[in-house]
A and B are shown apart, each in its own frame.
Chain A
């Protein structure tokens, strides 16, 4: 385990340049591009030059770019993400309040994508080049082409407006929100911890449509990798050996092939997570989901530059951590990997 800990520490250090690069890109785009952040933040209204100068000084935009850059960087390393220009509260605090909502949505999104992507991938591989395989491949390709925001709206119309089975948007029902007490901020977990069946049902009902929508973002990707990797593995000698031993095909596929086929699927999980976070922007917007992605969109609309920068850094860090976890998990499912 010492090896893993050392490797994890190294990887963690490597995320620093990644975050630096992204932050620099965002910072430069912000300052170098035409358009003045101060007048944008004041709503583009006709403000006198004097007021503009005042605000420029107040927010520190009057200093040379490299000074602004150095100051922002140094405060970041002290864990200070600056204050939101809208609310005046620390950006990091606002992000942490919304973080559990995004985590919960992402987890259930992954759940749906695994259910659809994984199973269809395995089915397609075991029936390669037959009708089921072709239909599943078309489904996978088509799932890449669906705009998530559109899918979300369609599901809202069908299941919420027309059928009335599920709520249109938000995380929790209006009445429930008054009495519901958070512990972790992950509502499903909180409802279970409080042993509150009514709350659990309400929260779960709110989760279904957004999580399904987000899950579709990954279904095609996961399904295709699963199929390709299963095809590869099913050709391997040890699978032939397993079959020759007279094992049932089900055992061969599920026990011998699947575990090995998992490796490439887990490897690209870091990338999948990036896709997931991109999808979360649209899903959270459509379903009024109070997570960090919808926070980012609202910050952009309000030209709240510190919140925008803060959210970008936060997402970058989050993805780095996920990648790290994936790498460590990788050595668990594939014992040949040693760090």
Chain B
């Protein structure tokens, strides 16, 4: 598989999810059943021609809930990655240019956060801030800041030593100019790839947070929460409540992962090198 193909497949998957989620949110009854207001289906019935993904214990249609269940995940993932990208990059620039004690303190703090399990940190932070959309965004954003900090700082350190930066510095260019014109363009590729992988990871983190009960309050559909709900009926054989939302999480996370893969392959062709 070439990088471009992988990238295209990834973009197609993510685009499909975005369209599906917007449609499901704007027109909740598109499937014929409202995701939480319709409660006229048979209770806990497996997939049928009427209810493609079966029904839940509250007599709702699982298919209608599943196609709209990624809204929170997408909102949290995109917002969180945008925040951590901004904060992490700025801190990385500052740290890389400032050097000295500021650089040492920032690097130490970032390394500490980076080496700690992000899933545990996100759960602890959400638990402390409270459940819901905004707390999830802040917690997930916080966890990813060190990733961007490291990428940007490394690039600054490298670029700072090059002769062309020395040259433009000699003719009086400011640090801000050096960052915007010479560091930022060099980090764009790496940051694009990193943020795609982060988005893939964020989808899983949000799903886990909702699964543990820190996500959106019911009755709005949400994959992680619906899986937690379905867990209670697994023992009695109701596999469809858990299976379908889970497959959606995999597909969406895989989509972001493929985008990251594709970008990495295109940017860094050495990775594709065959051995002799």
Interface residues of A (CB under 8 A from B): 17-22, 25-26, 29-30, 33-35, 125, 128-129, 134, 137, 141-142, 144-150, 153-154, 156-157, 161-162, 168, 228, 231, 234-235, 270-271, 274-275, 277-279, 281-282, 285, 293, 296-297, 300-301, 303, 308, 312, 315-316, 319-320, 323
Contact = CB atoms under 8 A, between A and B. Distances in A.
Given A145-B254, A157-B242, A315-B120, A30 B128 contact: yes
Nearest to A282: B208
B124 A293 contact: no
Contacts of A285: 212
Contacts of B200: 144-145
Contact of A316 (B116, B123, B243): B116
A128 B273 CA distance: 9
B104 to A, nearest CB: 10
Given A25-B113, A281-B123, A300-B127, 20 more contacts: A20-B112, A21-B108, A29-B129, A30-B128, A128-B275, A137-B1, A145-B251, A147-B224, A153-B246, A154-B243, A162-B237, A228-B271, A235-B276, A277-B120, A278-B120, A282-B208, A296-B123, A308-B127, A312-B120, A315-B116
The 4 closest A-B pairs by CB, nearest first: A278-B119, A278-B117, A150-B246, A21-B112
A231 B25 CA distance: 47
B204 A145 contact: yes
Contacts of A270: 115
A260 to B, nearest CB: 14
Contacts of B249: 145, 147, 150
A129 B274 contact: yes
Interface string B127-139: 1111000000000
Interface size class of B (residues with CB under 8 A): 35 or more
A234 B275 contact: yes
Contact of A153 (B118, B120, B227): B227
A interface majority secondary structure? helix
B231 A300 contact: no
B240 to A, nearest CB: 10
B253 interface: yes
Contact of A271 (B112, B115, B207, B242): B115
B242 A277 contact: no
A253 B237 CA distance: 47
What does DSSP make chain B's interface, helix, strand, loop or mixed? Answer: helix
Nearest to A320: B115
Nearest to B6: A141
A154 B246 contact: yes
A276 B101 CA distance: 33
Interface of B: 1, 108-109, 111-113, 115-120, 123-125, 127-130, 200-201, 204, 207-208, 211-213, 224, 227, 231, 234-235, 237, 239, 242-243, 246, 249-251, 253-254, 257-258, 261, 271, 273-276
A142 to B, nearest CB: 6
Contacts of A156: 234
B232 to A, nearest CB: 11
B116 A33 contact: no
A153 B257 contact: no
Contacts of A319: 115-117
Contact of A145 (B211, B227, B235, B253): B253
A188 B250 CA distance: 33
Contacts of A149: 207-208, 211, 227
A150 B212 contact: no
Nearest to A275: B117
A102 B128 CA distance: 24
13 contacts: A26-B128, A29-B129, A33-B130, A141-B254, A147-B207, A148-B208, A153-B227, A153-B242, A157-B239, A161-B237, A285-B212, A296-B120, A301-B213
Nearest to B110: A21
B258 A141 contact: yes
A271 B208 CA distance: 20
A20 B116 CA distance: 12
Nearest to B241: A153
A29 B227 CA distance: 29
A17 B110 CA distance: 11
A248 to B, nearest CB: 18
A20 B113 CA distance: 11
B213 to A, nearest CB: 8
Contacts of A228: 271
Contacts of B130: 33-35
A193 B41 CA distance: 56
Nearest to B261: A141
A332 B117 CA distance: 27
A174 to B, nearest CB: 16
A160 to B, nearest CB: 9
B72 to A, nearest CB: 14
